[in-house]
Every structure is written in structure tokens, then in C-alpha cells.
Amino acid sequence: MSYTAPVKDMMYAMERLAGLQTVAALPGMADFDRDTTQAVLDESAKFCQDVVAPLNWKGDQQPSHWEDGKVTTTPGFKEAFAQFAQGGWQGVIHPAEFGGQGMPKLIATACSEMLQASSLSFALCPMLTDGAIEALLTAGSDELKATFLEKLVSGEWTGTMNLTEPQAGSDLAAVRSRAEPQSDGTYKVFGTKIYITYGEHDMAENIVHLVLARVPGAPEGVKGISLFVCPKYLVNADGSLGARNDAYCVSIEHKLGIKASPTAVLQFGDHGGAVSYLVGEENRGLEYMFIMMNAARFAVGVQGIGIADRAYQKAVSYARDRVQSRDLAGSVAPVTIIHHPDVKRMLLNMRAHVEGARALAYVAAAASDMAHHAPDEAQRKQQQAIYDYLVPVVKGFSTEMSIQVASLGVQVHGGMGFIEETGAAQHYRDARILTIYEGTTAIQANDIVGRKTVRDGGAVAKSLCAQVAMTEEDLALHTELDCAAMLKSLRKGREAMERTIDHIVAHTKTNPQAVYAGAVNYLQLVGVVLCGWQMARAMMASLDLLEEDPAFHAAKVVTARFYADAVLPTASGLAQSVISGGETIAHAPVAMF
């Protein structure tokens, strides 16, 4: 059940692939050099391994429970969250002005991955709080910031996102919750919200709900939605907690996984109206909420990487210990199953996907740091565009990957993997939600097609392909056979991605049904190629560093070679499925199902 944070591989990805040194050279980032980063990751690892990870199994066996409107979390969660807050971990990425540490997103992403791997259920609470903080930082008034941000950044209070309603699902245009303006400038919110992560719990003294609702006379659809802050307890002028607000948890869901995370149904306004405060301007709520959603989508992608790595670690541990059958070389005695070719295939598959997705997420995080802190405006815009393009890939590809990897983890365990007590099944069940919340894979795919590829004529996507092509040039300068194999596979993958981009740009307006039918496969294709790009860069870096740490760097080369041989070749098939397969899906008659 144990977890070991892969600090060494994280530092490698940050230094060799994501450009930690470049990030540390940005204005305001000088304090976060390599030594500081190493120290932060080491401390994060201690907390996650020693405090949070041991609670993961308990959370599955003794999940949060609801009684008379109150939620009691898993034994140990409240105490662990207090340590999390006291350690300053909630404020890692947030501004020092509000009590945070102002670290780069690159460092925060590694810390987040550790926390997610330790316990998805536990990590969801601070993850949603991060989103609430980002929304208030961007769109909140000075008064709202002064009232709520310091307590949220410190971890004394937590935050939620309230989007979904019973009749609306992912269609936010169908939101019906209403907000009635009051004479004192506040609003009273009425309505029901479902699937509210940590909408009620006992780990913090106040919960700050960010709620979508409509004001009287608002336009129909998404253009008529406003965003409100609705705290569980009202806040007095001196910052102390006041009266209980009219926002109550009426039940929590019983789920397949992440059972320790309370998923609440919240009822607003049954006793006269939930006092709320407008964020920004009326009818611009969806715009502001997307700030939370984008932060959350990237974070969910990191969840996928974390849970996949934990499933991989568990599978490796089991494979090293489980003795079964003689090996194919004809050993006299049975061997541990890690010697069997198919088990090695599965473990390499798991490892390669985790390392590729981790590297791509860290590269995306560094792009976000550049977008916020680079001194040159043109560079900031360019890096923001790259980050925006990569967010749905990190979210969609990494979460789909996590299910595949967790499933392989069960397979490595064989029949024991299907037994709950081994713990492999929990990772599989926990991972299954990741492709659904904060926007399903199809929603991420529609985003990368419509907003991120078609809107700019494929410019950003092609700029990434150009960077991949530059890596191909570097590979060609290496004489090693591994680099030759990687060059061949990466070039074919990049060419497949370019063909697909051209097809999408050319046909989305004339044949949208067919193009969007292939959207998920396009997202998968981009993920395969761009993770392969990072694996190629890792291969070259480790070949150059082989003598410094032979075991570590040799493993990096073998893992990258496996990616070149077994994963990158799927890019051509994914491209073909987008270019040709969408037409079949689009014209399949509904009556046949």
C-alpha cells in the first residue's frame, strides 16, 4: 500500500525537459533555483509518503459519510489536512500578497502529482480550493479578495465549484439556479447543485462556494450566467465567522471510487435565500468559471499521472515478489513474474506512459510560468497559446492513460488484482472518474478541435510540430541505434499529426459531424506524439549523461526506446481513424442502435 514519490524522475523532467533553469531566471522567480526546488520536492515527498499515502486505503474502506446535513470525513483526514495547511502547501503557487509562497507552476505541479498519487480523495479538496483562489484573484473585487483569499490560501477555509445541476449535466446553458439582488448589494441564491466535491466536510471551519446562477432578466443560455461567492458561514467585518448561510448539504453520492471524497448535493435558499456576493460583472460568470475549470482540468490531468504512477509502483512491487512458473529460458525453479516477457511488456507500457505524460505536463506548466512572467509580451502570448493548447491534452490524454495503466496494474496482479485487499483494484476504480469530471474526454477533444486548432488555422498545433521536427534533427546527429529507431517513429508520428491537423482545418466547417466524430482520436494522437517528443528528448539527454548515473539513465533510454517501438506507431492508426473513420460514425443511423 506504500507510495514512494519519484522525486529523482521529477527533477529530471523539470531540469532536462521543462527548463527549470529558464523558469528560475524569470522575473520574480530567482528564489526557486535547483537547490530550492529539490528541497521543496523532498519536503513534499515526506509529507505525502508519511502522512497522506497511508490514509488512501482507509479512505476506500471507511469513506466520508453524511448524517443530518453534516459530513464526517475518513478518520485521519482532518488531522492530515491540518498538517497540510500548517505546512503551507495550499499556498505553494499563490501570491505572497495573500500569504502564499508564489512558486512557479512547474514546482507546484510536481508537488500536486505527489499529493494526487498519495490519495486522490484527499487531494481533491485542495485542488478545488486552488481553482476558487484563481477565480477570485482574476475576477474578484478588492473587497472579496480581502475577505476570502488569505483564509483560502492558508488552508483555513476551502473552496468549491458549483456548476452542475440535475437537469443540466455538462450543458451549462441549462443552469436554472437564480440570484436575486438585494438592497445592500448582496444577492440571494436559490437552486440545487450536484456533484460538488467537498461541498460539505469537517476539515475546515468555513467552505467558500463559487456558484453559477442567473440574475433576473439575464439572457438565455451561457451568456446569462453570473458567478457568486456563497460562504457556508457569513464573514463579519472583522474577519470572524458569522451566521450560518442558507446553503446545506442534503446528501452525498455513493461512488465507484474516490470514496473518501464527499461528493455533495447542495441546496441553496430553502430557508429564505443563500447570501452571496457577485464576482466581477453580471452575466460573465462562465468566463470567470472557466478560470477555475482550466486550473482544475490541468490538475485532473496531473491526477491521472499520479494515480498511474502509484498503480505502476504497486505492480512492480508485486511482480518482484510473486513467484510463478519457470521462465522461458528453462530455469529449474519457478521465478518471480517480473522475468516473464508479457509482465515486462505491461510494466514498460505503464512506465513509458507515466514518464511521457509527466514530462509533457511539466513542459506545459513551464509554458504557463513563461506566459505569466516572461518580460517580453510576444513571448508571453506565444507561451500562453502553447499552454492553452496543451491543457486539454494533459487532461484528456493523461486521464485516459491512467485508466489503461491502472487496468494493467490489475492484470499484472492476475487474480489477486481482482481482490480488493491487494489494493490494485482501488487505483483502477479511483482512476475511472478522471476522464469524466471537469469535462469529459469528448469535451476536451471538442475544445482542442474547435478552439485550439480550427480557430487559428492550426497555427499553434503546427508550431509544436515544428518543435518536434527540430528534435528529429537532433536525433539525426546521434549515432546510437536507439536514436535511429526513435527518429523513425517520431517522424512518422509527427507527419501523422500534421496530416490530421490539415484535415481538421480543411473540413470542420464543411463536415463538422465527421470531424468531431474523430475528435477524441485526434486528442489521443496529439498526446501520443507530444509525449513521444518528450521521450525522444529524454533519450538523448540520458545517453549524454549515462556515465553519471548508469542505472538511472540506462532505464530512461530503454523506456524511451519502448515508447518508440510500441507506442508512437499507434499515431498513424489514430490519424487514419480521424481522417477516414469520422465519416462512418457521422452517417451511422441512430435507429441501428
Lowest-pLDDT choice from 139-143, 161-165, 178-182, 323-327? 323-327
Q: Please state, in angstroms and rounded to a whole number, the distance separating the CA atoms of residues 263 and 59.
A: 14
Predicted confidence (pLDDT) at residue 1 exceeds the cutoff of 70: no
Nearest one of 302, 335, 359, 343 to 118, comparing CA atoms: 302
Q: What is the pLDDT of residue 293?
A: 84
Q: What is the pLDDT of residue 419?
A: 97
Q: Out of 150, 438, 473, 498, which one is annotated catalytic?
A: 438
Q: What is the pLDDT of residue 171?
A: 78
Q: What is the pLDDT of residue 172?
A: 79
Looking at residues 43-61, what average pLDDT do you find? 98
54-87+119-283 maps to CATH 2.40.110.20: yes
Contacts 24+ apart (CB under 8 A), 480-483: 480/543, 482/539, 482/543, 482/557, 482/560, 482/561, 482/564, 483/539, 483/540, 483/543
Looking at residues 92-105, what average pLDDT do you find? 97
Looking at residues 394-421, what average pLDDT do you find? 98
Looking at residues 385-398, what average pLDDT do you find? 98
Q: Please state, in angstroms and rounded to a whole number, the distance separating the CA atoms of residues 477 and 145.
A: 53
Q: Is 438 a catalytic residue?
A: yes
Predicted confidence (pLDDT) at residue 467 exceeds the cutoff of 90: yes
> What number of other Cβ atoms are within 10 A of residue 205's Cβ?
12
pLDDT tens-place string over residues 355-378 = 999 999 999 999 999 999 999 999
Looking at residues 152-158, what average pLDDT do you find? 98
Q: What is the pLDDT of residue 174?
A: 82
Looking at residues 432-459, what average pLDDT do you find? 97
The DSSP H or E segment spanning 274 is strand 274-278
- Cell numbers 530455469: residue: 331
Percent of the chain with pLDDT over 70: 100
Looking at residues 527-531, what average pLDDT do you find? 98
Predicted confidence (pLDDT) at residue 336 exceeds the cutoff of 70: yes
What confidence tier does 291 reach under pLDDT thresholds 50, 70, 90?
confident
> What number of other Cβ atoms are within 10 A of residue 526's Cβ?
30
Predicted confidence (pLDDT) at residue 289 exceeds the cutoff of 90: no
Residue 576 phi, psi dihedral angles, 5° rounding: -65, -35
Predicted confidence (pLDDT) at residue 285 exceeds the cutoff of 90: yes
Buried b (16+ CB within 10 A) or exposed e, 269-288: beeebbbbbbbbebbbbbbb
E strands, 84-221, in order: 157-162, 178-181, 187-197, 206-213
pLDDT tens-place string over residues 563-586 = 999 999 999 999 999 999 988 999
Q: What is the pLDDT of residue 475?
A: 98
> What number of other Cβ atoms are within 10 A of residue 485's Cβ?
17
Predicted confidence (pLDDT) at residue 153 exceeds the cutoff of 70: yes
pTM for this predicted structure? 0.97
Predicted confidence (pLDDT) at residue 169 exceeds the cutoff of 80: no
C-alpha 119: how far from its chain's center? 14
Q: Where are the alpha helices (DSSP H) in 247-340?
A: 285-321
Predicted confidence (pLDDT) at residue 129 exceeds the cutoff of 70: yes
Looking at residues 217-231, what average pLDDT do you find? 95
